[in-house]
Amino acid sequence: MSEDRFPGWHGTTIIGVRRGGKVVVAGDGQVSLGQTVIKGTARKVRRLSPGGRDVVVGFAGSTADAFTLLERLEKKLDAAPGQLTRACVELAKDWRTDKYLQKLEAMLIVTDGKTLLVVTGAGDVLEPEHDIAAIGSGGNFALAAARGLMETDLSAEDVARKAMAIAADICVYTNGNLTVETIGG
């Protein structure tokens, strides 16, 4: 996020883990302004059901901006039923080229239980390696922890929960109040 436009705002941590035919998306609940925790129980992971098909989305960044993107993503999913990657690419194209959308400050992790993607305002639609995606201020901490935990026999949900706990212990903008959604399998 641009510190000029949003001074003192800090994000969150969202992780997606694919394992054993399931994908788990977990996000913390902390919203901070500078050194102050404004809210500790925000829900930053949502289940969408466009056309009766479940999609789970986690977002980091501005909440209002993320909700705008979620609405746009639902429309793209309705226009391309069952084609998550195509819908995300269309959203990323709009996000990159539309003057209104270009100002939005958020990132998304999106999954339909098979595909796991990170969508950014730079026009990126990335399928992460190692079946793990992480975004937000504590994303790199959660990603590193999850990569190590994938060498164990833990379930996708256990990997996500433990990685988020490690991120919360390190990143002051991440807490342990999790929203967890599982899809697939």
Residues labelled as active-site residues? 12
**Tokens 């705008």 appear where?**
68
Q: What DSSP letter does each residue of 60-116 carry, written as one string?
A: EE-HHHHHHHHHHHHHHHHHSTT-HHHHHHHHHHHHHH-TTGGG--EEEEEESSS-E
Alpha-carbon span 89 to 16, nearest angstrom = 19
Residue 21 DSSP SS3: coil
Name the helix (H) or strand (E) containing 154: none
**In Å, what is the CA distance from 78 to each residue of 37, 90, 108, 142, 167?**
37, 12, 18, 32, 35
Name the helix (H) or strand (E) containing 41: none
Tokens of 15: 């992780």
Residue 43 DSSP SS3: coil
